[in-house]
Structure 1
Amino acid sequence: MNGGPSGFNNAPVTRAFIIASALFTIFFGIRGRSSSLGLSYQDFFGKPHLWKFIASIFTFKSTPELMFGLYLLYYFRVFERQIGSNKYSAFIFFSVIISVLFEVFAVAFLQDPAGNLITPGPYSLIFASFVPFFFDIPVSTRFNVFGLRFSDKSFIYLAGLQLLLSSWNRSVLPGICGILAGSLYRLNVFYIRKAKLPEFVATIFSRLSLPSMGSPPRAAPTRNVVGSIPSYPARQLERNYPTSMQSATEPPEDAISTLVSMGFDRHSARQALVQARNDVNVATNILLEAQSH
């Protein structure tokens, strides 16, 4: 599974977040201050430093954490493509804010003024994304290794486990808080799944971040991040897009697998690719538009 089409097409917010995380990590790493960005009891209940809170959201403490973290953020761009950049921005804000609140309660309960309990990095967003990943992304293939059964989702889980245990208790706590935040989003607390930021937010992210490879981003129709994606009859797809778009060329297997990895039914994915002349980005929008009807 690869999280959909390569690059950052239809995922400008993810692209901006990844670039910000990389730049923050490099900047504070060069200055030798990455480790000091971990939030402690004094940061929550003493004199707050806004710059430290912001830096701790984006900055990874070490290079291995940066590699695994950016890999997971890049994969989870599939959710921005599914629900649209505006709703995904709301998902990011909700995950970060709720995760920080959980961290405050945990630090207050543990009452360890001398210890840095929370490692820096976008753990809230990464582990909140594991909730829809677990429930909404289907397994495409299964295989055995030394008698143990794995699936194509296992590599994502292993990368997440590595990141979760990277700093032991300092990384486990924000990881758990991120999962709790993602669970509340899935439960639609305060009807949060209907929330979305204004259109100009995605435009700002698109202009601030570096250009991506491939075709320019397209605004995908918004859709709920939770719930499985149903199969769409060929007649429904043809109703939304004329048959003149169809191509006699059989869609390549890797293109079909890409759409299946995003949660679409195989038959619907093939039909959409035929109508989109084997363009994965166009086929994705066809499927999302068909779902919204």
Structure 2
Amino acid sequence: MSGGLPGFHNAPVSKAVVVAAALFSVAFGFRGHYRNLGLSYENVYGKLRVWRLTTSLFAFSSTPELIFGAALLYYFRVFERQIGSNKYAVFIAFSTMVSVMLQILSLGYLKDPSLNPLTSGPYGLIFASYVPFFFDIPISTKFRIFGLRLSDKSFIYLAGLQLLFSSGRCSIIPGLSGILAGLLYRLNIFRIRRLKVPDSTTSLFSRLPWPFCNHSYQRLPITESDGNNPSNQAHQTEGALTTTEDPMESSIVTLVSMGFDRGSAMQALALTNYDVNLASNILLEAQSM
């Protein structure tokens, strides 16, 4: 299942989260501290250090969890493109804080030595993202494997299950805490969905020279030329076409040319990860209702 345009185009906050998770996981993994990064009853209700709270939010507890977690964070960047970086930053902060609070309450209630420590990493954000994934992302294809009816969304669910049960109860508690945080956000508790961070804050992420992410999504050149078209002639220099076109804008133009209005086209593309064919199907079904 596609997560939309490749790379972190229009998703600078998601890029920051993925890079932070990778750097923290690798840095503490090299030091052999993987299994000591999460929250436990002793360090929460004893003396909780800032560094442990930070690593519990960003550093995954093992390499497999890092691989599955980073892949899911990369896919869920589609929600930042859908609601905008300003609101998505609020979603990240809300789901993370609520998830951590629920984990701390769980540790205090259970007081179970076997939960020492909980699995670390951005579980709150990942599993909170499954709530809009379940409700807002439509199924585009269905198929059967060994008699089982699956869809293109099934692989995302399977990756989440792998992550949820990776460490037994130590990973189930953070995962369930994230799902509950996502449900609270969707219920718009305290009108949280109306909040957004300033543009200056989110634009900072796009200006930072993140490691491993130094290239942005390149615009695609227009290869079509028409000597009789005045608009094309206006953008040609010595016979070479120099204008470029944003792929997202190209998708919108395609749907508008099919007779749909621009606002509906943008909403349908956001819901379908910028899949033009699926977006056109949704718009056609909406017209027929």
After TM superposition, the score normalised by the length of structure 2 is 0.77
1:95 touches 1:178 (CA, 8 Å); kept in 2? yes
Partner SS, residue 149 of structure 1 = strand
Q: 1 CA distance for matches of 2:34 and 2:277?
A: 35
Give the RMSD, CA atoms, in angstroms: 2.8
Partner SS, residue 90 of structure 2 = helix
Describe the shift of the 1:203–1:66 C-alpha distance in structure 2 as closer, same or farther (beyond 3 A): same
Structure 2: runs of 5 or more not aligned: 220-245, 249-254, 267-271, 285-289
- The structural deviation recorded for 1:26 is 0.6
| Alpha-carbon displacement from aligned partner over 1:185-215 (angstroms, at most 9, x marks no partner) | 0000000001111111211211223334423
Aligned twin of 1:214: 217
Q: Is residue 237 from structure 1 mapped to residue 240 from structure 2 by the alignment? A: no
2:140 touches 2:278 (CA, 8 Å); kept in 1? no
Describe the shift of the 1:78–1:238 C-alpha distance in structure 2 as closer, same or farther (beyond 3 A): closer
1:18 touches 1:70 (CA, 8 Å); kept in 2? yes
1:142 touches 1:149 (CA, 8 Å); kept in 2? yes
Aligned twin of 1:124: 124
- The structural deviation recorded for 1:123 is 0.3
Aligned twin of 2:238: none
Q: How does 1:101-250 map to 2 (within 5 A)?
A: 101-112=101-112, 115-208=115-208, 209=210, 210-215=213-218, 234=259, 236-237=261-262
Aligned twin of 2:26: 26
Aligned twin of 2:269: none
Does 1 or 2 have the higher relative contact order (CA < 8 Å, sep 6+)?
A: 1
- The structural deviation recorded for 1:14 is 0.5
Matched AA of 2:205: F
| Alpha-carbon displacement from aligned partner over 1:122-178 (angstroms, at most 9, x marks no partner) | 100000000000000000000001111000000000000000011111000000000
How many residue pairs align between the two structures? Answer: 242
Matched AA of 2:199: E
Describe the shift of the 1:237–1:261 C-alpha distance in structure 2 as closer, same or farther (beyond 3 A): closer
1:128 touches 1:183 (CA, 8 Å); kept in 2? yes
1:140 touches 1:260 (CA, 8 Å); kept in 2? no
Q: How does 1:85-100 map to 2 (within 5 A)?
A: 85-100=85-100
Matched AA of 2:98: I
Aligned twin of 1:83: 83
Partner SS, residue 143 of structure 2 = strand
Deviates more, 1:53-62 or 1:173-182: 53-62
2:39 touches 2:56 (CA, 8 Å); kept in 1? yes
Q: Is residue 39 from structure 1 mapped to residue 39 from structure 2 by the alignment? A: yes
The structure 1 segments of at least 4 consecutive aligned residues displaced by more than 6 Å after TM superposition are: 238-241
- The structural deviation recorded for 1:238 is 9.1
Structure 1: runs of 5 or more not aligned: 221-230, 242-256, 270-293
Partner SS, residue 10 of structure 1 = coil
Partner SS, residue 5 of structure 1 = coil
Matched AA of 1:237: R
Q: Bigger radius of gyration, 1 or 2? A: 2
Matched AA of 1:67: I
After TM superposition, the score normalised by the length of structure 1 is 0.76
Q: 2 CA distance for matches of 1:262 and 1:200?
A: 35
Q: Between the two proteins, what is the percent identity of the paired residues?
A: 52
2:78 touches 2:273 (CA, 8 Å); kept in 1? no
1:139 touches 1:151 (CA, 8 Å); kept in 2? yes
| Alpha-carbon displacement from aligned partner over 1:25-55 (angstroms, at most 9, x marks no partner) | 1100001112111210122211110111011
Matched AA of 1:236: D
Q: 1 CA distance for matches of 2:111 and 2:90?
A: 31
Describe the shift of the 1:53–1:46 C-alpha distance in structure 2 as closer, same or farther (beyond 3 A): same
Aligned twin of 2:274: 259
| Alpha-carbon displacement from aligned partner over 1:75-115 (angstroms, at most 9, x marks no partner) | 00000000001100000000000001111111111023674
